[in-house]
Amino acid sequence: MSDIKKVVLAYSGGLDTSVIVRWLQDNYQCEVVTFTADIGQGEEVEPARAKAQAMGVKEIYIDDLREEFVRDFVFPMFRANTIYEGEYLLGTSIARPLIAKRLIEIANETSADAISHGATGKGNDQVRFELGAYALKPGIKVIAPWREWDLTSRETLMAYCKTHDIPVDYSSAKKKSPYSMDANLLHISYEGGVLESPWAEAEEDMWRWSVSPEAAPDAPTYIELDFERGDIVAIDGAAMSPATVLETLNKVGGANGIGRDDIVENRYVGMKSRGCYETPGGTIMLKAHRAIESLTLDREVAHLKDDLMPRYANMIYNGYWWSPERRMLQTAIDESQQVVNGKVRLKLYKGNVIVAGRQSADSLFDESIATFEEDAGAYNQKDAEGFIKLNALRMRIAANKGRSPL
């Protein structure tokens, strides 16, 4: 008899997690609490309630977390200009710490002994969910069915459903996309199917949020973004909540063919993985944020942020959002953003995000010094001679000692 009496399951209502509900009930003889998060995946989440009820679940949580997701996770990440391995905007990675947080909150509310998730033993998500859970509740028990059971394919899962009277729409399950997909307000990811060959080009009808750059409008779209302390607070003069900002940028970006990426990335568990991503709003946000920072940040602060960003990106990708090192870095990043205020004008055209202008009351750009015209003595060009000689001194000494680079 298992000592697990109650488990909180991250539940989508799909095939995998429906099987997990019954599997937990049968193998652990426990009560299952389901938690379904709406983080902007674009699918109706309420049907998960009826599916859970049909399987005898008594405690069902369906939470709209869209604003919290963007405000407390996406926006802080973009303040750091975060990008993993030069391309990936971390759309899946950044959602996992929020789900882990809510799983633990529900476990505390319901006096559950354990949490469970549907992540496989090959991927990063198992690490992200569980590192987050252990950071927030060190003694929590985690049940990862994919590391325990012998169900290894969609066919075996569907056979399990028939054997155990699990209510599943078999016709829709069979028609399911050939890709493994994950969606939220920041992105959609695609893996599997033809994408398992790094040489195969992604099929055009795979993409959901964006038109191809070739099919995008022939005329550019201009938008203006207002920043306060590093976050976008208005688009074209209209104040918006964080989630609405991202929703709006996804629509305008997707309509202009922006945000597609085809990447071979290094998973934390050791293997390389090929995936395709649509992140139209995030692609726009990154370009705009760097533009306003270029105007407002001190040079050394900006360069230090760039030095630290890959470390910060690795922390998020590998599941360390709740770690002390990520929180320490976030404090420094957020401090730098106090002066990142102003407006950025962008031109969106056939997959490109082009900066068309930027302005800020906190700008460090001094036209009287930077000008190529008469500067009225604002900058003494003779000062550069001593500056150059002092910086060359060590190299001159080395050359005089016979250490010439030639």
* Catalytic (active site) residue 26: no
Q: CA distances (Å), 55 to each of 32, 51, 52, 168, in order?
A: 10, 7, 5, 11
Q: Which of 2, 16, 261, 363 is catalytic?
A: 16
Instruction: Determine whether 125 is an active site residue.
Output: yes
* Ramachandran region, residue 9 (left: φ > 0; alpha: ψ -120 to 50; beta: rest): beta
Catalytic pick among 71, 72, 180, 262? 180
Q: Give 393: exposed, middle or buried? Use CB within 10 Å, 0-12, 13-18, 19+.
A: exposed
**d(C-alpha 328, C-alpha 289), whole Å:** 21
Annotated catalytic residue 96: yes
Q: Could you tell me if 79 and 52 are in contact, meaning their C-beta atoms sit under 8 angstroms apart? A: no
The phi and psi torsions of 189 (rounded to 5 degrees) equal: -110, 150
Cβ burial, residue 155 (10 Å; 0-12/13-18/19+): exposed
Catalytic residue at 169? no
The catalytic residues are 16, 96, 125, 180
